[in-house]
Amino acid sequence: MTTASPASYQRIVLASRPKGQVVPENFRLETLPVPELKDGELLVRNHYMSLDPYMRGRMEDAKSYAAPQVIGETMIGGTVGEVVASKNAKFSVGDKVIGMLGWSEMGVSDGLLLRKVDTTHIPLSAYLGSVGMPGLTAWYGLTQIMQPKAGETIVVSAASGAVGSVVGQLGKQLGCRVVGIAGGADKCAYVVNELGFDACIDYKAGNLEADLAAATPDGIDAVFENVGGEIFDASLARMNPFGRIALCGLIAGYNGEQLSIKNARAFLTMRLTMRGFIVSEHMDLWPQGLKELGGLVATGKLKFRESVAEGIAAAPEAFIGLLKGKNFGKQLVKLI
């Protein structure tokens, strides 16, 4: 399907930095004319844009792993779409591409950070999820940091999400006992029944510590942590000696909440290793990871679920929902 290029497009810029919780007024929808292409450039019409927790961090003007999102500029974000005009010899109209064109219906690129993708066996949207940055994040944390052996018990928080769901499924394929933590009975049922985890703890049910203990009778050997706070402390209390923790996210504290690790002693008494990581800093491993993930998705061995908001104007609300755990699976915005 090739779509004609309209004369204007919409984008969302950061209007202001959040004070605590993100509110719709932190964003502004703008309409811009489609620019003329210069030599070497191409124009992409985005089909989907990705919403990810890391974007919350970029909205802050704080010391972190990346420069803050600039006020008034297009919100950062991954996109998949189709080339609709090209003055770049490496890209043709109709090519499907993944890139970081932001919260925007269209984008101009010099092609350097765009990658062509094959949608023969893998749906375009999956390149923003299981076969994209979230999938790679899961793959990297599991294979490079957690390094579980068959028979070990691993725990994954935010288990139904774009990252957690991949961690758990890959863990099962390695022969691990996999326990998820998610918010709500629906998500937990999905994690166990659809994704094949051995158990899933509903942290909203109010018995997190006891439920996690019951689900991890042999303790925990490795954790993929997306949440932090009480959820992480509950896992720390169950760690076995020489446990490994891949620290991927602390979504419980993204709005500036105090986010202590209460169980600091466990790191010493259990000789734990914890490593925080950002998958974009390990690009050398992306080809290997993408190959494995792509093969699994193409053959139906890696399941995923998407929450799809319709139209760019719906992005702020969907993003705010994501931060509150309202999404169910990978959060996307469908643009066309």
Burial class (CB in 10 A: 0-12, 13-18, 19+), 269: exposed
Judge whether 187 and 160 are in contact, CB under 8 Å. Answer: yes
DSSP notation for 283-318:
GGGHHHHHHHHHHHHHTT-S---EEEEESGGGHHHH
Q: What is the nearest approach in angstroms of its own copies to the Cβ of residue 79?
A: 25
Interface with its own copies in residues 104-143 (CB under 8 A): none
- In the DSSP assignment, the letter for residue 167 is H
Residue 58 or 305: the one with the smaller Cβ distance to its own copies is 58
Among 37, 247, 285, 298, binds its own copies (CB under 8 A): 247
Among 1, 67, 150, 268, binds its own copies (CB under 8 A): 268
Task: Point out which span in 93-101, 273-281, 291-299, 327-335 binds its own copies (CB under 8 A).
Answer: 273-281
Is residue 20 at the binding interface for its own copies, with CB under 8 A as the rule?
no
Q: What is the nearest approach in angstroms of its own copies to the Cβ of residue 253?
A: 6
DSSP helix/strand/coil, 274? strand
Length of the chain in residues, anyone?
Answer: 336
Which residue, among 323, 316, 291, 318, has the nearest Cα to 307 in the 3D structure? 318
Judge whether 109 and 41 are in contact, CB under 8 Å. Answer: yes
Is residue 57 at the binding interface for its own copies, with CB under 8 A as the rule?
yes
Among 90, 116, 149, 271, binds its own copies (CB under 8 A): 271
Among 3, 193, 269, 288, binds its own copies (CB under 8 A): 269
| Residue 303: count of CB within 10 angstroms of its CB | 16
Is residue 67 at the binding interface for its own copies, with CB under 8 A as the rule?
no
Token couple for 45: 């019409």
Is residue 265 at the binding interface for its own copies, with CB under 8 A as the rule?
yes
Residues 6+ apart with CB under 8 A from 198: 172, 177, 178, 179, 192, 215
Among 124, 274, 285, 308, binds its own copies (CB under 8 A): 274
Among 81, 168, 180, 228, binds its own copies (CB under 8 A): 228
Residue 125 or 226: the one with the smaller Cβ distance to its own copies is 226
Among 276, 291, 311, 313, binds its own copies (CB under 8 A): 276
Question: Which spans of this chain sit near its own copies (rule: CB under 8 A)?
Answer: 57, 62-65, 228, 232, 241, 247-250, 253, 258-262, 264-265, 267-278, 281
